[in-house]
Structure 1
Amino acid sequence: MPTYDRLIRYGMITPNICLLCLKDSENQDHLFWNCERVKEIWVTFLGWFNFTQGMHANDIHSLLVKAWQYELSPLAGNFWKAGIITVIWAIWTQRNNCIFDNQKFEARRVIQTVKVAFKDIDVNFSKLGYMWNSWSDYLILRAVGVATRSAPPPEFVEVHWWPPVAPWIKVNTDGSAMEAPGNIAAGRVFHDNWNVVRGCFHFKGGSGYAFEAELLAIISAIQIANRCGWHKLWIEADSTYVVSLLNSRSSAVPWRFKASWNNILEMLEGFSLQVTHIFREGNKAADIMANQKRLEGWWPHEIEEIKAAVRLDMASHSHLRLKC
């Protein structure tokens, strides 16, 4: 902003005096932070939001850095950031009124401008988020004079795992990646209509991404089912990506899986296939298989690590998932 110190550096001849306090020279830090008249405004504004550490900032830049790191609820945070911008804009506007309209600087006008801006935002913008249902958040919003918006109670959906109907075999698959990219692994668990585990598998696939791990789990599951003669196959995965690929028989897969995937699509011509999605909460046994620390391998029975999860599935246990 063209404060007096900058205008002088640009070669303009002008007195360099802060028109707010008439004591010090005007520069950006003085005008927006260090001036004693401006401090009155910041003390009030920061007090509304209980941001006491802000008063220890040395300059306006330091204040802004600290302010943007201040953790508030979505609702209070929106007013916090809008308020900081409005304070700076209102100080600059009042300063220009002193120069061009010969007005007297009054801190209360700046504070009133911020309050009016808050009212306009509150009335005209409905999607400002919710407050944290806490006393501190309530006090902040009451101080700035805006309506409180309590967060709605969380909603949950029930997730169930269901066994297949004889003579179908159901396989639940899952993939995991430690990082992006990182070491990937895949897990699968095969069940019959009595919820007896007909086999489980853990496989490591080198470096890759989570969606590649999910794809690897599907490929290997179909290969195992084909070898075992399980051609009435229900595949259930918690990845909408692989569910969509299988249901559409799409060939849009990463190049390193192209050959295996095309072979799988040909293999599926001899299958009766059902493909469904399940949320992770209901895919616990496969998730355990994907993330376990065992060496990779195939077990023609349930292993100790998945027993508890299998028992919950057998009992049609209801898993709860937070509704988005």
Structure 2
Amino acid sequence: MAFGSPNVHWAPPNSGWLKLNTDGSSLGNPGPSSYGGLIRNDHGDWVCGYMGYIGFDSSLASEIWGIMMGLRLIMVMGWDNVIIETDSQAALLLITVNGVDESHPLSLMINECRMNMAELKCYMVHVKRDKNRCADALARLGGRQDEEFVVVDDPPVELVPLLMEDACLRV
């Protein structure tokens, strides 16, 4: 597929909806891990972002952390009508389809995600990595700080070119 194709880049949600893109980052599996996410409105405007450092963990754990913390933020803010996009097929399946038993090391986080999604008017879909570049950048930025959870009111300078490119490609 050619660069600049609208099928490869981020697309805004339907009118009246928000879109949460989330990602995890692990430098090794396991290794130093972090996560990040951002919420945009139906015009593609930045609503807020978040990121965090979780220490030494697996790539799957970092992906689930990103989803879980995004759901927590949505709940705290009182938002509904949210589409959640992740590029982790494994995390998506564990949360939305398969579930896990209590012996699974990520069971508490997975079950929290399942419970929060049932409470909220939201759903989760899988997207290609090219549609998740901003969340990927935030996940990597999460590894550069020490906090477990940081809300970002304005886009970090590293994200501005990606956000602008997404906006131009939607026109």
TM superposition score normalised by structure 2: 0.84
Q: Quick one: distance in 2 between partners of 1:295 and 1:218?
A: 19
Determine the structure 2 residue equivalent to 1:273: 122
Determine the structure 2 residue equivalent to 1:209: 58
Which one of the candidate residues 5, 8, 16 is aligned to 1:167?
A: 16
Asked if residue 288 in structure 1 is aligned to residue 141 in structure 2, the reply is no
The unaligned stretches of length 5 or more in structure 1 are 1-154, 318-324
Asked if residue 313 in structure 1 is aligned to residue 166 in structure 2, the reply is yes
Asked if residue 302 in structure 1 is aligned to residue 155 in structure 2, the reply is yes
Q: Quick one: distance in 1 between partners of 2:131 and 2:101?
A: 27
Matched residues, number: 163
Q: Which has the higher helix share?
A: 1
Q: Quick one: distance in 2 between partners of 1:272 and 1:284?
A: 25
Per-residue CA shift, 1:240-273, capped at 9, x if unaligned?
Answer: 1122223316235873432233233222222222
Per-residue CA shift, 1:32-61, capped at 9, x if unaligned?
Answer: xxxxxxxxxxxxxxxxxxxxxxxxxxxxxx
Which one of the candidate residues 246, 250, 253 is aligned to 2:95?
A: 246
The unaligned stretches of length 5 or more in structure 2 are none
Q: Deviation at 1:194?
A: 1.5
Give the letter aligned to residue 302 of structure 1.
P
Evaluate the alpha carbon distance shift between residue 278 and residue 254 of structure 1 in structure 2; reply closer, same or farther with a 3 A threshold: farther
Q: Deviation at 1:230?
A: 1.5
Contact 2:95 2:111 in 1 (8 A): no
Of the two structures, which has the highest relative contact order with CA contacts closer than 8 Å and spacing of 6 or more? 2
Determine the structure 1 residue equivalent to 2:73: 224
- Please tell me the root mean square deviation across aligned C-alpha atoms, in Å: 2.2
Per-residue CA shift, 1:212-251, capped at 9, x if unaligned?
Answer: 1111111111111111112211010111112222331623
SS at match of 2:71: helix
Q: Which has the higher strand share?
A: 2
Residues 111-190 of structure 1: pairs in structure 2 closer than 5 A: 158=5, 159-190=8-39
The structure with the largest alpha-carbon Rg is 1
Question: Percent of aligned pairs with the same residue?
Answer: 21
Q: Deviation at 1:177?
A: 0.6
Contact 1:198 1:302 in 2 (8 A): no
